Chain A
Amino acid sequence: MTLLSVENLTLATRDARLVEDLSFTIAPGERFGLIGESGSGKSLTSLAVTGLLPQAIRATGRITLDGTEVTGAPESRLTALRGSAVATVFQEPLTALDPLMPLGRQIAGPVRRRLKREGADTAAVAAEVRALMEQVRLPDPDRLLRAYPHEVSGGQRQRVAIAMALACRPKLLIADEPTTALDVTTQAEIVTLLLDLVRERGIALLFISHDLAVVGQVAERVMVMRHGRAVESGTAAQVLTAPRDEYTRTLVAAARRFDDALEGRG
């Protein structure tokens, strides 16, 4: 069974091909890692999955998410899909959140939309917001509900973004470099949180990162992209310990260089 299927996806502007002939699938509950350096096309791929590509980029090929065809779908169908089938957590929670809205109201937005969608009573919103804050381990809910994004730390902002994504109860969570803007101690906490949450709920994860070690902690299967093409895919253990492709080997060697230095083997 397949939750997300990407077949022969090509993304191009008028004068350049940004992603070329990309194919992969994600099963329900599976954790899939997309590895690439800047310009590899990994973030564009995730935007294509959610139908959020900039207008100037044309997509060919076929993307099917939870039984619905994304490529060529009208905006109304995509809006329904975002939220019910897929939610995204982006790299920079400071720009992903509305700076002028208290955190509690931001989390309440997707909660209310979901309850309406399910035909449930929206009186439950406030209780649900508090439950979500607890699930993402945000402390001091009374204060944070009323706080604005700039008043809390980067890690707490990312927890709010995760709470908003969970509020949708998606089948697929896309996390695009969710820890890159964070300090390393906070990064470790957020990775643990994300892993716990998707495992508990059986949510599939598309985890996008340039950081091989982080992807290794999170993903069961990975794909390495370079200049818009997949150069290698396989289990995380195989790709990160016994890479076959030349470019993947360079990346893995570079990551191990810093690991070795930390172990005093530099």
Chain B
Amino acid sequence: MTLLQVENVGFAYGKGRAVLEDISFDVPRGANVGLVGESGSGKSTLLRLLLGLDSPQRGRILFDGAPLDARDRGYMRGYRRQVQAVFQDPYSSLNPAHRIRRIVTEPLRSLKIPGDHRQMAEAAITSVGLTPDTLDRYPHQFSGGQRQRIAIARAIVARPALLLADEAVSALDLSTRVRVVDLFRQIARDMTMVFVSHDMGVVAALCDRIVVLDRGRIVEAGDTAAILKNPQHPYTQSLLSSIPRMPDAAQPQDPT
């Protein structure tokens, strides 16, 4: 079953040139799709459309079979219950003046979700690998990786159908990044996920499908393993060949 369908979407800011042109792809329920592109590829704009922050000027986005309408406030309330996001910067995405409990339970309150919020917050914070006493503390008491875990707890506390992640591990140090990627992998087991990133290595480690964007267009899309093994489009090929690799353990090489 398809959870999200993007159909021939086109978008431009104001009267400027098109930022997205003829974008079409499907996200099956339970899938974990990576949107990959460099700066200017339009990946952030596409994510804004998926969040309902802007509406496409051409084409449409279907969620669970129904068109996404960013101007319909009633519809958007229901949509937000289904779709949550994690952003790049763990320092600016958590309100510094609020305790973690208030931050994590915020979606439950704003979406008026019934139930024991205390218990739901504890379940969410435990599922991201933090202890319940985290909830009584403030954002500044945590490292970047821990803050990103808190942001993930907030995103999953209302049990959304779709998790959108925007460069969600890009600001983290390498050793932390590996652990947060593992957490995303674990979470993606019971959730549909769209993971936007410039980092092909992260997407390769995390997503089972990849959509490659270049200057507002999809240049290649498909199964991750197939694209990595045999990239078809010259842009995908150059993207993959530009990634610096570790020297080979078997034959230590001269860097020349």
Contacts and interface: CB of A to CB of B under 8 A. Distances in A.
A237 B247 CA distance: 7
B252 A213 contact: no
B229 interface: yes
B39 A216 contact: no
Interface string B197-223: 011111011000000000000000000
A262 B201 contact: yes
A261 B204 contact: yes
B39 A154 contact: yes
A250 B39 CA distance: 30
Contacts of A237: 247, 252-254
Given A191-B244, A214-B244, A184 B175 contact: no
Interface string B220-255: 000001001100000000111011111111001111
A193 interface: no
B205 A261 contact: yes
Nearest to B243: A184
Contact of A263 (B178, B228, B239): B228
Contact of B175 (A214, A254, A266): A254
Contact of B246 (A191, A213, A261): A213
B205 A266 contact: yes
A216 B200 contact: no
A213 B245 CA distance: 5
B39 A236 contact: no
> Taking each of A188, A257, A258, which has the highest tally of chain B beta carbons within 10 Å of its own beta carbon?
A258
B233 to A, nearest CB: 13
A177 to B, nearest CB: 13
A20 interface: no
B246 A184 contact: no
A220 interface: yes
A118 interface: no
A188 B244 contact: yes
A222 B205 CA distance: 27
A216 B245 CA distance: 8
A75 interface: no
Given A218-B255, A266-B204, A184 B242 contact: yes
Interface string A175-209: 00000000111011001000000000000000000
A185 B247 contact: no
B201 A254 contact: no
Given A154-B39, A261-B201, A251 B248 contact: no
> Taking each of A188, A218, A261, which has the highest tally of chain B beta carbons within 10 Å of its own beta carbon?
A261
B234 to A, nearest CB: 11
Interface in A238-266: 238, 240-242, 250-259, 261-264, 266
A185 B246 contact: no
A217 interface: yes
B188 to A, nearest CB: 14
A117 B121 CA distance: 66
Contacts of B244: 187-188, 191, 211, 213-214, 216-217
Given A188-B242, A219-B255, A264-B228, A257 B247 contact: no
Contact of B245 (A191, A250, A259): A259
B238 to A, nearest CB: 6
Contacts of B198: 183-184
Contacts of B174: 37, 210-212, 251, 254-255
A259 B38 contact: no
A38 interface: yes
Nearest to B241: A188
Interface string A37-71: 11000000000000000000000000000000000
25 contacts: A31-B255, A183-B38, A183-B39, A184-B243, A185-B239, A216-B247, A220-B255, A237-B254, A238-B252, A250-B175, A254-B175, A255-B174, A257-B205, A258-B178, A258-B199, A258-B202, A258-B204, A262-B200, A262-B243, A262-B245, A263-B228, A264-B204, A264-B225, A264-B228, A264-B229
Nearest first, the 3 A-B pairs at minimum CB distance are A258-B201, A237-B252, A261-B205
